[in-house]
Amino acid sequence: MITIALSKGRIFDDILPLLKSAGIEVLDDPDKSRKLILDTNQPDVRVLLVRATDVPTYVQYGGADMGVVGKDTLLESGTQGLYQPLDLQIAKCRISVAVREGFDYAAAMKQGSRMTVATKYVAIARDFFASKGVHVDLIKLYGSMELAPLTGLADAIVDLVSTGNTLKANHLVEVERIMDISSHLVVNQTALKLKQAPIRKIIDAFALAVKK
Ligand code: AMP
């Protein structure tokens, strides 16, 4: 049995064509079913639905043999024990700094001044501002980061941006792109040894489909 951990939403939707290229079709629709273990057309392949931030944990401890996870999540949670064979080039976006319209970001970034930054991505934000030699006070949030600059909770946010529509709708502007983000395949290292042939087959099919 090969168990693949996925999160609902963008990653699930974007991985379906890649799974298909490996001959795997998920039989249940996660939007209609409440099942957390989904069958596929391959009797020896199943899909686990887990939170995006839990995918590395499931794969690291062998609850799943492989999984698909955003680079943002990997950078935040660490990648101990995970084999990362492939950038799948799906669920692409970027992680950026955004501020309220009219906020003088350049002045706030001047060395010596202090800025408050709200984010779910504390590790990424800390590394980024440290690399610029800017001291920031970080506030950890779990969602709706856009509210922080609007309510005075923070001067800036670090968040994922795709079209930029969410920022625009909340009168925020993207002032700096920290890095591009896409989803990666992660594999449990023991599973790779014990189930080498079927796992390699999936990795190779994904690699071929990504290149196209
Ligand atoms: P957008 O309005 O298209 O810029 O999308 C921004 C919102 O969608 C933010 O709340 C992000 O946290 C979220 N988002 C954008 N891209 C992704 C992604 N690839 N994975 C997860 N969340 C995303």
Q: Residues 24-41: pLDDT tens digits?
A: 999 999 989 999 999 999
Range of the domain at 79: 2-91+182-211
Residues contacting ligand 1 via CB (< 6 Å):
10, 70, 91, 93, 159-166
Q: Do residues 17 and 81 both lie within one domain? A: yes
User: What pLDDT, on the 0 to 100 scale, is given for residue 62?
Assistant: 97
160 and 190 part of one domain: no
Pocket residue to mutate for ligand 1, from 94, 160, 163, 177, most atoms within 8 A of Cβ: 160
Task: Give the number of domains in the chain.
Answer: 2
pLDDT exceeds 80 at position 112: no
Q: Check whether 111 has a pLDDT greater than 90.
A: no
State both tokens at 70.
Answer: 């955003």
16 and 84 in a common domain: yes
* CATH number for the domain harbouring residue 65: 3.40.190.10
For 197-210, what is each residue's pLDDT tens digit? 999 999 999 999 99
Q: How far apart are CA 120 and CA 136, in angstroms?
A: 15
User: Which residues make Cβ contacts (< 8 Å) with residue 108, sequence separation at least 6?
Assistant: 99, 115, 155, 156
pTM exceeds cut of 0.85:
yes
Tokens of residue 173, six digits: 């502007």
Report the chain's mean pLDDT, rounded to a whole number.
96
